Amino acid sequence: MPGIDECLLEAMRLPGARGAALVDWTSGLALGTVGDAPGGDHETTAAEAAELARMAAEHGAFTAGGRPDDRPALEDVIVSNRDSYHLLRFVDTSFDSSVFLHLWLGREEGNLALARIRLGEMAARLVLG
């Protein structure tokens, strides 16, 4: 079972991967980063991605069943722009499940479907502690 560093390095092997991070969406802090960050700053990117993750996780419209307490049912958030995708994959943990994997993926060379599947597999195997 991989730890944070191994998981992030595995994410960077995906076609089109530009950068990856494990982020605590409660604090907005990056627990680990690898590769590039949009704008060049991993900490700013982590804080901004955490805001988006928090908004999705805390609003019932985005969770299965429409209740805020369904947070673990929320799998991922995908944001696309002209040249890239941002995939936020929520990680179930033995504690409060307030972390997610953030993959920044180049649109031309990346495969969003493959990245989503693989990030889900990585999240399931990730060992935190």
CA distance 110 to 100: 20
**Beta pairing partners, 78:** 87
CATH of the domain at 43: 3.30.450.30
Identify the domain containing residue 86 by its residue range. 4-125
For range 6-29, the mean pLDDT: 96
Q: 56-105, pLDDT tens digit by residue?
A: 888 877 776 655 554 457 889 999 999 999 999 999 877 767 899 999 99
Length, in residues, of the chain: 129
CA distance 115 to 1: 19
Residue holding tokens 């889900």? 120
Q: CA angle, 90 as apex, 47 and 19 as ends, to 5°?
A: 55
Q: How many domains would you assign to the chain?
A: 1
Q: CA angle, 36 as apex, 58 and 119 as ends, to 5°?
A: 50
CA distance 76 to 123: 11
**Would you place residue 126 in the very low, low, confident or very high pLDDT band (cuts 50, 70, 90)?**
confident
Q: CB of 4 within 8 A of CB of 32? A: yes
